[in-house]
Structure 1
């Protein structure tokens, strides 16, 4: 007769319910902490991108004012800019736009400039039925700066924009070797109704994305 041998199975110790709950709790706390850090991180990345974009726009404006051969190619660049800015303001538009071959290129120029080479207008942004601008249009408004000598400028008061005007309307009677300008940069989204005209009374109520001073020399 065969004998039956008893087999003893040693029970395996598993995780208790409390241990499982604690592990899940720790995991959820870690996930929530990481999610909380994600918001500020994305905000920081966005701020860095905006700073880089503003820096690029400032460099573009300065390079255009200082080095562009399109500004008054047959006359004095200093005289042309001084005449445009000294008694009121001048506007520069900076943006990227599609050309007829759908290639994106940088556009920069003065609004209302008489010389075609340095002129830019709302027709470069849109033709009324199609928008050519590939992204934000930056409007830079140039006005006389407080950095100019006190005896060479008139102060219209803190509530006026532009606040300063030069006493000498023509560059020929302006005795200094440089002319300082305040540059306020405004960001606008292009549309079919984009208008290149800078209404200073309206812009005075808006917050520029960046303001700085620059100068041109004779």
Structure 2
């Protein structure tokens, strides 16, 4: 999957690799505008979230010449959403050691996660929302353990940190499957409250 942007064609072989450019004393492109990520909520409402690693080619004028998926989120919809955002970004060009603009091939991760301890979304999360996220994660990443779900890791980390700061015995916390099953039975309950109940 790729996005071809208007503008002068730029062959990949004319662009320097970002690692090689930095090793030679150059600087990478600087993002000057990142569009709002409006629309991600529709994906989040279905449990779809993750990290997309994107390969970009930025020209000597700072224009984005090409963008493609280097590592997929395993959701074609999320990948397409991330590419759409990148296609609207603007950059200052990369520069060589002498300060001259150069074309560059770079990779960067775009993280599109629905749970955050910083904005309170994790603490407001319902059991039903947790079950939906877990079901999507299991379907998208069958090779991973379900307790590797990012929201679960965040929640567990917060409770471990709280116990540590209070001088309490750390323990292991409740079992993922036990919380998942209890949340399926009571989807309107807050995930944090269910976690606390099963932790004790």
TM range (shorter): under 0.3
TM-score by length of 2: 0.27
Judging by fraction of residues, say which structure has more helix.
Answer: 2
Q: TM-score, normalised by structure 1?
A: 0.25
Which has the larger Rg?
A: 1
